[in-house]
Amino acid sequence: MPRGDGRLSHDLDPQRPGPQDACGVFGVWAPGEEVANLTYFGLYALQHRGQEAAGIAVSDGSSVVVYKDLGLVAQVFDEPTLASLRGHLAIGHTRYSTTGGSTWENAQPTIRSTTAGTTVALAHNGNLVNTADLQRDVAEQGLGSDGSTNDTSLVTMLLASYPDLSVEAAALKVLPRLRGAFSFVFMDESTLYAARDPHGVRPLVLGRLERGWVVASETAALDIVGASVVREIEPGELIAIDAEGLRSTRFAAPEPKGCLFEYVYIARPDATLAGRNVHATRVQIGRQLAKEHPVEADLVIGVPESGTPAAIGYAEASGITYGAGLMKNPYVGRTFIQPSQTLRQLGIRLKLNPLRENVRGKRLVVVDDSIVRGNTQRAIVRMLREAGALEVHVRISSPPVSWPCFYGIDFATRAELLANGLDNEGIRRSIGADTLGYVSLPGLIAATEQPKTRLCRACFDGEYPIELPAGNLIGKHVLEGVGRRVTGAAPEAARSAPRGAEHGGTPPLVASPGGATVHRP
């Protein structure tokens, strides 16, 4: 499990987490710059997208070194570690697991030596849906396992499996075989690569430094390293950056289906998606909520942080005063303590507490981004009533989440999704609100300023733009099961592998042929 670092994650109840973010990827090609430091700061800006593990791969032109571990970016890296990662080219990753459990072996970047003596390192944001098929391909080709159980390592193995091709040429063979959502940054000793699936489900942007180039999941990561935004990597596009410059190749025809939930929750408010500022989108969603679900009230408050912009928009459109009603404690650790049942019942108070003077005697509109299981909203409504609120009207800046995501966001299972089993009135009663209103799907789409046809809305309407496999060959732990069926290996071996010398003498460095070195902290 990740170590507690004293900082707040988005989980208000660690035992029943809400939607878990996709991962964050970052890449930089910049001779003469401290690329490891730039990558560290880029990952820091993307920490909200993944909080289980972090890693950086660096090349000095002759060898590739990867340093990774479980934990947040600031836990994994310190100044001496970054100073040891020297080179002109780097990629980085901050992870939330969508395929493969939270183990050191599944931390990224993944790395693989080719038979030609070069090295491939890769970081992935998204989730593939033909993972089981890829695992069978890897097994049939006799490619050895590295102990990991994620889709990213399979892609890395395939990229390294073409003895007579460059990494770039191999990518043009492998990428068309992948199904699902992927925004990749990857590298060999001399070149930075980036690729985005034909649907462009997950974001990926290109930036320019004075002496190089940057690729990142969100524009906010470009801002933090002083890079100017050039453009988005296009769906179905592979770019390569080296001493000869930047070149672009199409490996598939684009069929854009950007993730709608990025606008609601995942992306930072200061990010730009498809030319639209995320904060402005969320404020507009709040205005739409006020039009669709008006109510007489005294105060509009947001559930920090993701509900705040929509609350501002709701207040603007309704004419009701906007104010603070809930304070968020930013210094509560992640899951460094397993609370007793008594403490768990108080759980949310560790991270949110009402401003009693502001809410006492008031009719409140409480704006939040989504309802998954309903535990958070139920606790908030109860807390505000105990603080003296006369009425609590809940407004949600997304439609009911009724379907799971298979493209890079780990929602609850469909059986756990509150909206799957209850209608609006049933949900209202379940969370204890006086009234409940969700923004409509057309209203949400309009706020993004994107056509409906260019957005993936599957978690709201069940229309999956990328075909899903039949049977049970999908899900976070699919490779553990497939690996058992294909190779006869016990999945527990990978999940319980030692993570350092203190667990049985594993050396601090694990080297592989082709100049690749993986640090095991």
In 3D space, the residue among 266, 260, 243, 228 whose CA is nearest the CA of residue 19 turns out to be 266
Asked about 174 being catalytic, the answer comes back as no
End-to-end CA distance of the chain: 15
Catalytic residue among 8, 23, 35, 419: 23
**Residue pair 158/209 in contact by the 8 Å Cβ criterion:** no
Is residue 59 a known part of a binding site?
A: no
Structure token digits, residue 513? 């042929």
Is residue 340 a known part of a binding site?
A: no
Is residue 405 a known part of a binding site?
A: yes
- Angle between helix 131-140 and 478-487 (nearest 10): 30
Outline where 46-160 has alpha helix (H).
73-76, 79-84, 131-140, 151-159
Place of tokens 């290996």: 489
- State the DSSP H helix or E strand holding residue 484, giving kind and residue range, or none if neither: helix 478-487
**Residue pair 263/448 in contact by the 8 Å Cβ criterion:** yes
Angle at 146 between CA 142 and CA 151, to 5 degrees: 85
Is residue 368 a known part of a binding site?
A: yes
Is residue 145 a known part of a binding site?
A: no
**Residue pair 258/451 in contact by the 8 Å Cβ criterion:** no
Helices and strands (H, E) in the chain, number of each type:
19, 25
**Measured between alpha carbons, how far is 483 from 177 in angstroms, rounded to an integer?**
20
| DSSP state string for 226-295 | TPEEEEEPPTTEEEEEETTEEEEEESS-----EETHIIIIIS-TT-EETTEEHHHHHHHHHHHHHHHS--
Contacts of 207 (CB under 8 A, 6+ apart): 213, 214, 215, 216, 219, 222, 225, 227, 228, 229, 230
Catalytic residue set: 23
Residue ranges of the annotated binding site for [4Fe-4S] cluster are 259, 405, 456, 459
